[in-house]
Amino acid sequence: MANLREREDHRELNIGIGGDLNIDNLADDKSKLNFDTGKDRGSTVLGKEEQLRDKDMGPKAGSSIHRSLSRPQLDLSGAAIQGNFEEKDPAILLPNQSDDISHLALDIGGSLIKLVYFSRHENQPVNDRRRKIIKARLGITNFNRRSFPILGGRLHFVKFETAKINECLDFIYSKQLHRGGMDSRSWQTEGPNTESTVIKATGGGAYKFADLFKDKLGISIEKEDEMNCLVSGANYLLKAIRHEAFTHMEGRKEFVQLDSNDLYPYLLVNIGSGVSIIKVDGEGVFERVSGTNVGGGTYWGLGKLLTKCKSFDELLELSQRGDNRTIDMLVGDIYGGMDYSKIGLSASTIASSFGKAISENKEIDDYRPEDISLSLLRMISYNIGQISYLNALRFGLKRIFFGGFFIRGHAYTMDTISFAVHFWSKGQAQAMFLRHEGFLGALGAFLSYEKHGLDDLLVHQFVERFPMGAPYIGGNVHGPPLGDLNEKISWMEKFVLKGTEITAPVPMLSPGTTGLGGFEVPSSRGDSLRPDASKLNVGVLHLIPSLEVFPLLADPKTYEPNTIDLSDHGELEYWFKVLSEHMPDLVDKAVASEGGTDDAKRRGDAFARAFSAHLARLMEEPSAYGKLGLAHLLELREECLREFHFHDAYRSIKQRENEASLAVLQDLLMELDSMDEESRLLTLIEGVLAANIFDWGSRACVDLYHKGTIIEIYRMSRDKMQRPWRVDDFDIFKERMFGSAEKKPHKYKRALLFVDNSGADIVLGMLPLARELLRRGTEVVLVGNSLPALNDVTAMELPEIVAEAAKHCDILRAAAEAGGLLVDAMINVQDSPRESSLSVPLMVVENGCGSPCIDLRQVSSELAAAAKDADLIVLEGMGRALHTNYNATFKCDALKVAMVKNQRLAAKLINGNIYDSVCRFEAATSPSPSLSFS
């Protein structure tokens, strides 16, 4: 009687493979479908546009001496190198960068298509004269020290529903990705491509849809092994993206800094429709050791049958309001509310998932879909965690990385998985999640191209940006891209119509109302929701091969740029408030900087909405964009401005203040020259502090401006600089400079001055200090921003300012000439710079960033080169010396000078008050490379 009627499938084994999970229908709302197209973000990080815009506008007021781009003494690269990528310069482009190389790879899963594509920096018309200079500079400098040149550009991550594969095809066609990308024109000049393009693809659909791609796009799909792709994608992300992996326990996300030399072995668990469990031992060395058929497809499939949800995300969202205790049989239900503590089971432990449904006379409609969804989610997540742990245990692996689109940054899911791993391993193993969780396969397929040029890229050469739409694309599926700025603005306008419902946090159940599918109650709650229920945002990866780690960092591995930890929610709220309050003023300035036209106003509105949306997103999920520090927040604002084509909101203010300050510079220099050396040094530092008050980034200072002229405020501030300052290492610095009874004076060989604001700050503060160092025989390198940020002075503006200042001062002029800053108008670019001057040079380099702060792990190659011989660093201003780098240690002497223009920061950082001064001097942590001579 115990016969079997259905036996045909007995021998099949139920193991999951990484098909992918179905997704939502939010894609129906086309208004939300957007992402960075890569072509409306012309700004490269390294200031190309600055040059161009500058060019378009003609010579700036007050610049009587043309600045030069030539700083040959440094043997450095110029910003122009960046701008040159588009010019098909053979020295930079991949030698084989031609039609046969694709910039697109696909991972076609059971329910989602993941697409990774590469775009270069936008091709822009390049001025002939500039090109000439660049070419000449290239001839002189020997920038390209790499054995193999790398292409700079952006890596985009996009996904589509497999069911809507036509959208994907349209997308590829519209962006011409199958022909090598939008900017293919510039490198296809050698001959039109008529050959069939070969695109790498993985996932089951690579087989299933091969014919479709051939028919519609003429693309030949080259199938890549799925596991191989998953592993190489994961390996790459873990090595290349600084904060790719994070843990998630009890609602707390913590990014993990992995040592790429100590990455292997690990267990990779890819949760798609099914689950694959892979032991990874090295690059290309791996084994699929297990899997389970109970995966994302099970959650969504069963969930759909049980709840009638229309989308995966809807189901996921339901779970956030669920209480699984109505359906799950808990230990307490069996034991009458008691624990079975003898074996470590608490009353809230789930004894049997869905076990309560057996004993009650309820039908499916009698249960809340929310509760069903949560029970299901717990059951599946916990099960995956448990099976993963058991497999990790088999091989003695401590690290388990979970990827795949099932997770979606969903707090409950991650908490449940983490809990399972933590519980069963008794804390020995760690569950980690990946920000690019869903794109492992697609990225792996991309990397399977023989010459993708990404091999050599290192973690410091990636910058992730979140263009508008990024807050809303996390778990969502894209439709057509936002084509241009105009579309983006329209989208923002539509967005704001429904803005309240999109951005307003949804009140949730209080935490702890749900028993975990493990052993305790998770504290994760869905504090708020995006419509797509995703907690992760994947930005656009900018690959900037020229970025380098600042070589003078004492310990790059432990270096953390941010002084302020925004994981403290109070801190986060404060800075969000500051930024929000500052916004109307910023928008006014931005609009004015573009002539106050209707178009500028429209863009200004769009910017305000976009940035507010970013803030709202980060407010509800601080780590949505990765690890969040104040520097990131400030940079995000600048990026957002640039996204809406406000390239320099403070342009006119900066010019006005530069002019006003330059006008009084001569008086100041005379005053200084009348002093003896020691009091002059003190006055100079006081001056730097005093001039640092001119800061449009500080609300308090903006209010001051209306009360007097620049020189008045400057003198008044300087006079008020009563020592001792709140942090006062001046005497140590002075002794280092001038020596003492016991010590010989120290002569610095080269000083790097990281400058802050335009106007008085640079002209009356830092330039006189630079002059003093030059006078003492120290080479000075002014380090300015690559792109504008607030009223910070940029590297592009510095030569002009120096040139103007040189009119009043022979020391500066000689040094500027020696540094090549003044030669442009006088000599032909082919000439090598004159070495006639006896002065040590004054030079200008860009720092590689466009933010008021600086992350010294990612600086321009010219700054890195300039740092080689430097033995003194001066960091000036709040952004670079306090918000970031206050605790940074260097291989050489470092002076951090800033006036604190924020009460909260003053209280927190130095236990002081607003307008307190910081003069922090730290001797080299290891012997200085410089020579000391008296």
- Examine residue 204 and tell whether it contacts another protein (CB under 8 A): yes
Q: Are the CB atoms for 388 and 4 separated by under 8 Å?
A: no
Contact pattern from residue 83 through residue 112 relative to another protein, giving x for each residue in contact according to CB under 8 A and a dash for the rest: --------------------------xxx-
Distance of CA 452 to the CA centre of its chain: 22
Q: Are the CB atoms for 165 and 209 separated by under 8 Å?
A: yes
- Examine residue 294 and tell whether it contacts another protein (CB under 8 A): yes
d(CA 36, CA 538): 11
**CA-to-CA separations, 459 to 87, 148, 240, 269, in angstroms, rounded:** 26, 17, 4, 23
377 contact partners, CB below 8 Å, separation of at least 6: 299, 316, 319, 412, 413, 416, 517
Binding segment toward another protein, per CB under 8 A, in 199-207, 244-252, 545-553, 805-813: 199-207
> How many residues contact another protein, by CB under 8 A?
90
Residue of 352, 528, 567, 889 interacting with another protein (CB under 8 A):
352
Residue of 302, 802, 845, 909 interacting with another protein (CB under 8 A):
302
Residue with tokens 């006639």: 836
- Examine residue 363 and tell whether it contacts another protein (CB under 8 A): yes
Binding segment toward another protein, per CB under 8 A, in 362-370, 429-437, 791-799, 811-819: 362-370
State which residue, 350 or 470, has the beta carbon closest to another protein. Answer: 350
d(CA 547, CA 902): 31
- Examine residue 203 and tell whether it contacts another protein (CB under 8 A): yes
Contact pattern from residue 205 through residue 224 relative to another protein, giving x for each residue in contact according to CB under 8 A and a dash for the rest: x-xx----------------
State which residue, 393 or 732, has the beta carbon closest to another protein. Answer: 393
Residue with tokens 């720092």: 847
Return the residues of window 114-173 that contact another protein according to CB under 8 A. Answer: 163
- Examine residue 274 and tell whether it contacts another protein (CB under 8 A): yes
CB of 229 to another protein, least distance (A): 13
- Examine residue 821 and tell whether it contacts another protein (CB under 8 A): no
- Examine residue 427 and tell whether it contacts another protein (CB under 8 A): no
Return the residues of window 570-589 that contact another protein according to CB under 8 A. Answer: none
Residue of 189, 194, 261, 359 interacting with another protein (CB under 8 A):
359
Binding segment toward another protein, per CB under 8 A, in 61-69, 185-193, 296-304, 918-926: 296-304
Closest alpha carbon to 923 in 885, 904, 896: 896
CB of 325 to another protein, least distance (A): 13
- Examine residue 323 and tell whether it contacts another protein (CB under 8 A): no
State which residue, 290 or 418, has the beta carbon closest to another protein. Answer: 290
Q: Are the CB atoms for 185 and 89 separated by under 8 Å?
A: no
d(CA 619, CA 528): 10
Contact pattern from residue 377 through residue 406 relative to another protein, giving x for each residue in contact according to CB under 8 A and a dash for the rest: --x--xx--xx--xx-xx------------
State which residue, 152 or 272, has the beta carbon closest to another protein. Answer: 272
- Examine residue 17 and tell whether it contacts another protein (CB under 8 A): yes
Return the residues of window 453-472 that contact another protein according to CB under 8 A. Answer: none
Return the residues of window 405-424 that contact another protein according to CB under 8 A. Answer: 424
Binding segment toward another protein, per CB under 8 A, in 357-365, 780-788, 866-874, 881-889: 357-365
CB of 73 to another protein, least distance (A): 58
- Examine residue 342 and tell whether it contacts another protein (CB under 8 A): yes
**CA-to-CA separations, 527 to 309, 490, 500, 507, 758, in angstroms, rounded:** 21, 30, 16, 7, 42
Q: Are the CB atoms for 822 and 803 separated by under 8 Å?
A: yes
State which residue, 47 or 110, has the beta carbon closest to another protein. Answer: 110
CB of 330 to another protein, least distance (A): 9
Contact pattern from residue 486 through residue 525 relative to another protein, giving x for each residue in contact according to CB under 8 A and a dash for the rest: -------------------------------x--------
Rg of the chain (C-alpha set)? 30
**CA-to-CA separations, 413 to 16, 142, 338, 578, in angstroms, rounded:** 18, 52, 27, 34
- Examine residue 231 and tell whether it contacts another protein (CB under 8 A): no
Residue with tokens 């509800």: 620
- Examine residue 267 and tell whether it contacts another protein (CB under 8 A): no
Tell the burial category of 335 from Cβ atoms under 10 Å away from its Cβ (0-12, 13-18, 19+): middle
- Examine residue 338 and tell whether it contacts another protein (CB under 8 A): yes
State which residue, 269 or 540, has the beta carbon closest to another protein. Answer: 269
Strands 197-202 and 350-352: unpaired
Strand partners for 64 = none
Strands 197-202 and 219-223: parallel
d(CA 195, CA 185): 16
- Examine residue 22 and tell whether it contacts another protein (CB under 8 A): yes
Binding segment toward another protein, per CB under 8 A, in 6-14, 167-175, 178-186, 241-249: 6-14
Strand partners for 751 = 780, 872
Q: Are the CB atoms for 200 and 445 separated by under 8 Å?
A: yes
State which residue, 350 or 924, has the beta carbon closest to another protein. Answer: 350
State which residue, 214 or 868, has the beta carbon closest to another protein. Answer: 214
Residue of 29, 215, 225, 568 interacting with another protein (CB under 8 A):
225
Residue of 68, 353, 563, 902 interacting with another protein (CB under 8 A):
353
HSE-CB at 659 with a 13 A cutoff on CA atoms is 10
d(CA 356, CA 328): 5
Identify each DSSP E strand in 153-309 by its residue range. 153-161, 197-202, 219-223, 245-249, 252-255, 266-271, 275-282, 285-292
State which residue, 52 or 221, has the beta carbon closest to another protein. Answer: 221
- Examine residue 693 and tell whether it contacts another protein (CB under 8 A): no
d(CA 621, CA 474): 12
CB of 403 to another protein, least distance (A): 16
CB of 278 to another protein, least distance (A): 9
Residue of 333, 493, 671, 869 interacting with another protein (CB under 8 A):
333
Please spell the DSSP secondary structure of 43-74, one letter per residue: --TT-HHHHHHHHHH-SPTT--S---S--GGG
Residue of 4, 57, 741, 838 interacting with another protein (CB under 8 A):
4
Residue of 293, 523, 580, 903 interacting with another protein (CB under 8 A):
293
Q: Are the CB atoms for 409 and 535 separated by under 8 Å?
A: yes
CB of 267 to another protein, least distance (A): 13
d(CA 317, CA 906): 42
Binding segment toward another protein, per CB under 8 A, in 259-267, 325-333, 470-478, 715-723: 325-333
Q: How many CB atoms lie within 10 A of CB 737?
A: 19
- Examine residue 198 and tell whether it contacts another protein (CB under 8 A): no
Residue of 6, 190, 501, 810 interacting with another protein (CB under 8 A):
6
DSSP H or E run through 653: helix 651-673
- Examine residue 285 and tell whether it contacts another protein (CB under 8 A): no
CB of 649 to another protein, least distance (A): 48
Residue of 334, 619, 682, 716 interacting with another protein (CB under 8 A):
334
Tell the burial category of 281 from Cβ atoms under 10 Å away from its Cβ (0-12, 13-18, 19+): middle
Q: Are the CB atoms for 325 and 360 separated by under 8 Å?
A: no
